[in-house]
Structure 1
Amino acid sequence: MSADFDAIWEDLLADLKTLPAISFDGFARRIHFRARWHGDFDSLRKYIGTDQPYPANDESHDQVLDGMYTGEDFRRLGNWFLAAEFISIDDDGLWQVAEAAQLAAFLFYPIFTPEVLRGLMSMCLAEHLNTKFKSNGHPSLMELANTTGFADYFINRIQTKSFIINLALTEPTRSDHLFSISVLLVADYLKYKTAWLDIWRLLSKDRPSFKALHAWSLVTWDEQAQRDEVKIDNIVKNCGIAATMAYCSVLGSLSTFDALVIFYKAVIAAIDTDSFPELRPYLDSIQASMKRLIDEAAIINEFVSYSEKLYTTFYHNMSEKWRDGVRNAWRERNTGALTDWINKG
C-alpha cells in the first residue's frame, strides 16, 4: 500500500511545486458571477453589472465553491453592498425611509457582511489546486480524501525531517509562499474533506495543518537554528506567514504578525514542558524571537494574507457593480424590483 501511495505522493508534490500564481481578480470575478445569480437578487439582477466568469469557460450559476454550498455567503455578501447603497439614497420619501430602516438592522447586526469573502478564500484555493491536478490527470482533493489511508500517509510525510529540511518553508523564488500554504491546506482537506474551517477546527491541537506547521518550526529550529537568532527569527516569520491561510480565513481581518502571534501562542499552550522538559529551550527561543520581531511587525505585515487580498480585490473591483444595481433601479423608479429584493432579504 505504501508503494501505491508513494506514486500518488510524487505526483501531488510535483503539482504543488509548480502551481501557477493565484489570480485574485479571477477569484473575485468567480464569486461575483455566481453571487449575482442568487435567488435574492432575481429582481435586481439586470441592474447589477456582470463580469467575465472565471475560469473563462465556466459559466455555471451554481451556488457552490469547491463542491460546497456557499449560497448563504453569496447572499450576505451581495446584500451588504445593495443595502448600504439603498440606505445612502438621499430621498425624503416615506417609502424609502421605511425600507431603509428595515435594512439598517441587517447592517448593524452583521447578517449582511462582506467579511464572508475571507472565509471563501480557502475554497477558492482548493479549486485552484484541483484545476492543476485535473490538468495533469491526477486525483482531485476529494478523491484523495476518499482514498483510505492516504490522509495519514500524507500528514506523516509532511512531518518527516527530510521533507521539512528540504522542502517546507524553502521557497526562495516565490514571495507568495504558495507551496507551503497549499501543503497545509491539503493536510486539512484530507482530514475534513473540505477546505473550509470553522472556529473549532481552527483551535484544535489535532488540526493537521497546525501539527505539521508546529513540526516544521520545531525540526527546523533543532536542525539549523538553535543558537542563531537570525535563523530563529526567519523560522518564526515563515511559519507565521504559512499560518495566515487558516487563521485569517476564520478570524477575519488579521495582519500577518497577528497570525504569527496567535499561532505561536497556540504552540506554547500545546507543549507540556513538565512532561517534555527537553522542549523548554525551543520555547524560550520562540518567545525571545516573538519579542524581537515586534520591532519588525511592519516589515512582516508586507505579506498580506490570501484572505485579505481576496477581500480587498473584490471590494475594489466588484462593489460598484452591486451598488449600481440599486442606483440603476432607483433611477428607473422600479420600486417593485427594490421591494421584491428587500422582502427576500
Structure 2
Amino acid sequence: MLSLWVSLNMAPLTDIRTATHVAFDAPTAEQLLRIGATRIVLASDRLLTGPSHPSPLEHVRQRQIWWNSDELWDDLYSSETRWELPVITWVSPSLHERVNLWRTCSWLRDVGLACDDILILELEPVIRSRARSHEGSKRPFDCSQSVSDHPDDTLLARIEKASPWPPEHYARAVRLWNSYVDEDPLSFVESCSAGVEGFPELAPLWAFLSSFFPRRTTEGALRLSRFDEITLSRLSSDWQTPAGVAAQKSETLVDMWHLLFCTGDLFLPRRLEHWADHDSSAVVERGPGPKPPGADYPMLSSVYRLTERGMRLRDKGLDQLTAAPRLPIAGTEAYSPSAPWVLLEDGRLARL
C-alpha cells in the first residue's frame, strides 16, 4: 500500500534552485549551496539538552536563556523565512537531526503547508572507515551523522527521486514533537518503548535522554542520574578543569564520551556550573581556571573539585531530589520537586 501511495504521489523533477531546503547542520547547508540551492533554512539547534516548548516564541526564549546568548543560529521560526514550494527537508540518522525533523514537520503544518508540498529526504549513515564502523557499532546512540557525509552526486540523485511522506507518516512526526515538548513525558517515553513505525530513532533516543533523570532502585533508594554519577565519579578533592574531567582515564571514560558525543562537550562545563551554583552547602566547588572567564575557553576557564558532601552524595545517593540541581530536558525537568520524575530499573519513567 505504501509503495502504491508513493508511486501515485511522486513529485515532478524538482529544481534544486527554486525549492526551499531545510538543513539541520551548517556543513549540510554549505554543501547544498555548493550544488545549486539558493534558499536554505538552517534549523541546527541541538535540542537533546536543555528546554523545548510547544510555543515557538517561548521555545526561542527558553533556548536563548539555556545557551546564555541572544544569537539566533536557528532560522526555522524566523518571520523572514519565505517557504517557496516545494520544501525539501534533508535528514541523517543523527538523533539531533531526527528531533529537529519532528519540529520542522510540526512548524510547517502550523504555517499552513500541506504535507504533499514537503519532500523529506532521509539519508543513510555513511561509514568512513572500518575502525569508525567498529567504534560506532558500540555506541548506544549516535549523533555524529550528517547529510554532508554524502558526496554531491548522491544528494542530487536523491532530489530526482524525492517524494512526500504519506499523510499518516507525517502526522506521526508531528505527534512525536508534541509529546516531546509536553510537560508530562510519559506519552513520549511510551512511544520510545513501544516504537513508532518509520521512526527507528526512538529507542536510542530514550537510551540517551534517560541518562539525565535521577534513578530509583527497586528498594526505593534515590540515585543520581547516570550522567551526574559519571561526572561526580571523575571528580576528586583535587582541582580539575572540565577538559581534565572529560579526558581523565578511568572505567567511565567510554560512557562519558558516548554521552558527550550527543550533548556536545560544552554541556559538561554547563553541568559543573549547575552543581557549583546549587545551594549553600556545596557538592562541587569552583575556582578560577588557567584561562580567563569570558575568553571563549569554557573547558579551561574554571576548575572544580568534589567536597566531602559531594563524595557522600556520589557514593550513597540522594536523600531528596532537591539535593541535585534541576536540569531541563525537552518539555520537562529532571530533579524538579514539582515534577519528580525518576527512572526505574526497567527503563520506565515514574513520578516519585
Interval of TM-score (by shorter of Structure 1 and Structure 2)? under 0.3
**Normalised TM-score (structure 1):** 0.26
More helix by share: 1
Higher alpha-carbon Rg = 1
TM-score calculated relative to the size of structure 2: 0.26
